Amino acid sequence: MAERWIIAALRQRKFFSIEELNQAIRELRDRINQRPFRKREGSRASQFAALDKPALNPLPAEPFDLSQWSRARVNIDYHIVFDANYYSAPYNLVQELVEVRSTPTTVELFHKGQRVASRLRARGHGHSVTIAEHRPRSHQAHLEWTPSRMVHWAQSIGPHTARLFERIMNDKPHPEMGYRGCLGIIRLAARYSPARMEAAAERALVTGACRYQSVKSILKHSLDSAPPVEPPPSPPLQTHDNIRGAEYFD
């Protein structure tokens, strides 16, 4: 209909501004809407005034933000990972699955249809956005694990466990990012003896698998009692006229 009654009607005319073109289109649009129906009474304009206009609501006060939805699990450090950043959730939702609604400016968390957190969206990578209210008093004793306290606990198990904790936290740009791994290993200590924990830490250090999941797997499959893994030897230096060796520089 637009091609027939607007575009075709204007095809021979020349316009020198977008405002002039829009004005001509509006005039033809109003003419189309005022044209009487052929097989019933009224026009498009009268039908709009009788049916559509009374049902219209005011436009929103704020522009619509296109949002994206995803899911994440609340980890032991009561944070979820979204877009390479960390956002806190109420502590009683640890290990629970939450829905994440994100817009260019905000991040909201929903649990079973109820919004449980809302904050400004962090920019960059590795940032932690934590809300103090997400730390109930009944859990403060558990949440007071600082990096130094974690390392002190690890030292009570053995030197390899202490080195493992330091490695886990040093590998992260922010100590809080290593909390989940260290706290997970601390929880494992309730199920396994200090000797096994120390042996598992030694094996994780030798193999370079310095992660909570790796330590958990070592203990679960009793790999801590297996012979220690020796790192593979370095390949021998090839003999070639262009390779002079270290003694050349003595």
149 plus 178 within the same structural domain: yes
Last residue of a domain, one of 107, 138, 169: 138
What pLDDT does 54 receive? 94
Question: What stretch of H or E contains 120?
Answer: strand 114-120
Query: For position 237, what pLDDT does the model report?
Result: 62
Domain end marker among 94, 113, 138: 138
**In this structure, is residue 25 part of a structural domain?**
yes
Q: Which residues contact 89 (CB under 8 A, 6 or more apart)?
A: 74, 78, 79, 80, 98, 109, 111, 116, 117, 134
Interatomic CA distance for residues 178 and 237, integer angstroms: 38
pTM for this predicted structure? 0.42
CB 86 within 8 A of CB 80: yes
Q: Tens place of pLDDT for every residue, the chain, 250 residues? A: 889 999 999 999 999 999 999 999 999 999 999 999 999 999 999 999 999 999 999 988 888 878 999 999 998 778 999 999 999 999 889 889 999 999 989 999 999 999 999 999 998 888 888 887 886 554 454 556 666 778 888 899 999 999 998 888 887 655 556 777 888 898 898 899 999 999 999 999 998 888 888 999 999 999 888 876 565 566 666 666 666 666 666 5
- Answer whether residue 196 is part of any domain: yes
Residues 149 and 132 reside in one and the same domain: no
Residue 238 lies inside a defined structural domain of this protein: no
Say yes or no: 120 and 176 in one domain: no
Q: Is residue 82, in this structure, part of any structural domain at all?
A: yes
C-beta separation of 110 from 99 below 8 A: yes
Judgement on whether residues 214 and 173 belong to the same structural domain of the protein? yes
Q: What is the pLDDT of residue 243?
A: 67
Residue 61 maps to a domain = no
Do both 125 and 83 map to the same domain? Answer: yes
Which two tokens mark 26?
């509006």
Indicate whether 94 and 123 sit together in one domain.
yes
Tell whether 7 and 36 lie within a shared domain.
yes
pLDDT score at 245:
63
Q: Which range marks the domain in which residue 100 is found? A: 68-138
Q: What are phi and psi of 215, to 5 degrees?
A: -65, -40
What total of structural domains would you count in the chain? 3
- 175 occurs within a structural domain: yes
Asked if 219 and 161 sit in the same domain, the reply is yes
Residue 233 belongs to a domain = no
Residues 153, 191, single domain; the answer is yes
- Residue 139 has a pLDDT of 47
**Within a domain: 116:** yes
Single out the residue in 78, 107, 138 at which a domain terminates. Answer: 138
